[in-house]
Structure 1
Amino acid sequence: MYRESFYQFLMTQRNPNQPNEIEQFANDAFFDWAFPKQSQDFDEISKYLEENATYLYSMTIFDDAWQLYLAKMN
């Protein structure tokens, strides 16, 4: 069974016009060339964001996006 990466899912959330927090996260991640684009692993992505994503001001936004991702994948 095919399961898209978190990044692939996140890119479906992009919104250039008055984005909410998750949409802004997606907009910013699009320009993050080092983002782990193939990963489906929560811990790997979380660690990357905590150490590198200055554009993400709260990890709660990632947690919320991850829950949306899981809901779509199940």
Structure 2
Amino acid sequence: MRQTFYQYLMTKRNPNDHGEVANFAQNAFLDQAFPKQATDFEELSSYLEYNGNYLPSMDIFDSVWHDYLSDEHELGGR
């Protein structure tokens, strides 16, 4: 079964890391409306563009999305 983007993003949470990706993960965790079941780029991108005021740049999302797809590909889409 394919991991949701949110599940993948939560693996990037680290209270000791104050980098952009860790901050994105922490803020998504705190965002109660984040689409936790989503696996679709357009759905997530749209949500973040309108509601992700905690995300300083969509480039951060794009980078994590790319990593998410790469990891899924390596795992065979499980």
TM-score (norm 1): 0.95
Q: Could you tell me which residue of structure 2 aligns to residue 71 of structure 1?
A: 70
Amino acid at match of 1:4: Q
SS at match of 1:10: helix
Aligned equivalents of 1:67, 1:46: Cα separation in 2: 13
TM-score (norm 2): 0.90
Give the fraction of aligned pairs with identical amino acids, expressed as a percent: 55
- List per-residue Cα deviations over 1:51-74 (Å, max 9, x = no partner): 001100100000000011001100
Q: Could you tell me which residue of structure 2 aligns to residue 15 of structure 1?
A: 14
Equivalenced residue count is 73
Gaps of at least 5 residues in structure 2 are 74-78
Q: Please report the RMSD computed on the Cα atoms of aligned residues, expressed in angstroms.
A: 0.7
SS at match of 2:67: helix
Q: Could you tell me which residue of structure 2 aligns to residue 4 of structure 1?
A: 3
Q: Which runs of 4+ in 1 moved over 4 A?
A: none
Amino acid at match of 1:15: N
User: What pairs up with 1:1-74 in 2 under 5 angstroms?
Assistant: 2-74=1-73
